[in-house]
Structure 1
Amino acid sequence: MITVAICDDEEIYCRQIREKLTAFSIADSIDMDIKEYRSAEELIHAAQGGWTFQLLFLDIMMKDMNGMEAARKLREMDCGGLIVFITSYLDYMQTGYEVKAFRYLLKNQMEQQLGRVIGDCIRELGDGSVFTFQFEREIHRVRQKDILYMESEKRLIHLYAVECEYIFYESLDGVLKQLEAGMFVRCHRSFLVNAGRVRRFAGTELELENGTVLPVGRKYSVDVMKRLLL
């Protein structure tokens, strides 16, 4: 599942991007959750409410708060998704580096550029196989299959992968929305585990292939069992 946001105050561009995304989704069998916003304020409000995106198409020139301001706020909130700026001019390209813009779409070349840009984004995301997050203004990408488990400590997530460890701000529910469906399972209120990395399950605990033992909460044990039997 790839979560996508489109933020533009002009309906014509929102529709054009949504239609092209839908075409990619059908052609490549990629699940996409696409949401549209007509202002930067709406987008920021959704992000503050916990909605996260992996890919954002963001118009730069909008009324009140512009797209560049919105991008800065999102990065300050540790939103680490790919940002594609929609613009009529390239004057903002240098500023875009500050918020780690992935691509730019020129409105007068939308028809010619859109398919290529979406393709680049999907390849970068690896069809959901790459987990993207941000911490202390740095964007990190980890292959989902390399993730062993994640542990939640208040608003802080500890991510343990095969060869590295990271920390970032998010909830486990928010993380789950960004991960490939079926690959991970919640085994405890504080733990999310890669089902493919589980070596042993014994009711109240499970052991990973690296020897790490994690607790299994009573309310999660049935879901863990079902997932491991798939």
Structure 2
Amino acid sequence: MEIIMIYIAICDDDEKTIVQLRKRVQMLLKENNIVAKISEYSQSRLLQYDVQEGKYFDLILSDIEMPQIDGMKLAEYIKKYLPEVFIIFITSHTKYAIDAYELSVFRYVPKHIIDKKFDHAILDAIKMINGKSNQIYSITTPTRVEKIPYEKILYMEREGKNTIIIMKDGSKTHVRKSLSTVIKELNSEEFVFVDRGNIANVRNIVKIKDGSVELENGVRLWASRSRIEEIKKKISEFWGERI
């Protein structure tokens, strides 16, 4: 079984609180055989910069009242870059609970009842992160971690020794692997070779006509004749299981 690495950030302007939270998280992870990498931030602005520069996190534990950028503004900013991230506020200030809910913050743990709420909040978040893992393509290099939900992938194309992944929103990313390697790693009926140079997400195929596969957003990929019937079969199997 593949070991799933969870990426966690702890952000609080009080160094002692960071130490306490890290020890508590590490103990909980050890008890539940969960592998994680924990990053610590005593300045919210540094966490903001790292996320802006592409650093990835599955889970963020943050205080709310902090200098420079408070937790509410930090969460709003981070969600623009990491919309799938789980954010848990751990704070003494209960007056922000409603605002936290509106920001789609996963949990709000008041410090005065942390013993009652903390462990459940962390384990619930990790359970949901792991539940999504079989529908996420992970790119991990010494300098970069990127996790892409399958539903966001429009198609992929070969570019030299790289695979270029094109998202539904028009953004792109790449991985230094062949298309055949990538589709094996995806291990999903959701993807199909259109020809040797392209893989399409079946859920985004809207039409097959005149030797081409038309995707959402008007994207058209030319398909080899030998692939057309296989593509049609994949579409039928994929949607047949969902009707």
- CA RMSD in angstroms comes to 3.7
Q: Secondary structure at the match of 2:62?
A: strand
Q: In structure 2, which of residues 106, 110, 120 is the aligned counterpart of residue 106 of structure 1?
A: 110
Distance 1:68 1:167 in 2: 26
The match for 1:9 is 13
The match for 1:26 is 30
Letter in 2 for 1:124: M
The match for 2:66 is 62
80 and 209 in structure 1: CA distance in 2 versus 1, 3 angstrom threshold: closer
Matched, 1:46 2:37: no
Measured against aligned partners, the alpha-carbon deviations of 1:63-83 in whole angstroms (never above 9, x if no partner) come to: 121110111111233443001
198 and 214 in structure 1: CA distance in 2 versus 1, 3 angstrom threshold: farther
The match for 1:83 is 87
The match for 1:186 is 177
Letter in 1 for 2:57: F
Distance 1:150 1:16 in 2: 44
212 and 26 in structure 1: CA distance in 2 versus 1, 3 angstrom threshold: farther
Distance 1:168 1:58 in 2: 31
Mean CA deviation greater in 107-116 or 82-91: 107-116
Q: Secondary structure at the match of 2:178?
A: strand
Q: Which runs of 5+ in 1 are unaligned?
A: 134-140, 160-165, 174-184, 200-207, 217-230
Would you say the 8 A contact 1:157–1:168 is kept in 2? no
Letter in 1 for 2:103: V
Q: Cα distance, 1:105 vs. partner?
A: 1.3
Instruction: Give TM-score scaled by structure 2 length.
Output: 0.59
The match for 2:209 is none
> Looking at CA atoms only, which structure, 1 or 2, has the larger radius of gyration?
2
Q: Which runs of 5+ in 2 are unaligned?
A: 138-147, 159-163, 199-243
What are the within-5 Å matches in structure 2 for residues 132-147 of structure 1? none
Sequence identity percentage: 24
Q: Cα distance, 1:112 vs. partner?
A: 2.6
Higher relative helix content: 2
Letter in 2 for 1:195: E
Q: Secondary structure at the match of 1:5?
A: strand
Distance 2:76 2:136 in 1: 17
Letter in 2 for 1:197: N
Q: Cα distance, 1:152 vs. partner?
A: 7.9
Instruction: Give TM-score scaled by structure 1 length.
Output: 0.62
Measured against aligned partners, the alpha-carbon deviations of 1:78-113 in whole angstroms (never above 9, x if no partner) come to: 443001012112211221133210001111222332
Moved over 3 A (4+): 130-133, 146-153, 156-159, 166-173, 191-194, 208-216
Aligned residues: 178
Tell me: higher relative CO, structure 1 or 2? Use CA pairs within 8 A at least 6 residues apart.
1
Would you say the 8 A contact 1:78–1:169 is kept in 2? no
Measured against aligned partners, the alpha-carbon deviations of 1:36-59 in whole angstroms (never above 9, x if no partner) come to: 101210110111121011100011
128 and 90 in structure 1: CA distance in 2 versus 1, 3 angstrom threshold: same
126 and 198 in structure 1: CA distance in 2 versus 1, 3 angstrom threshold: closer
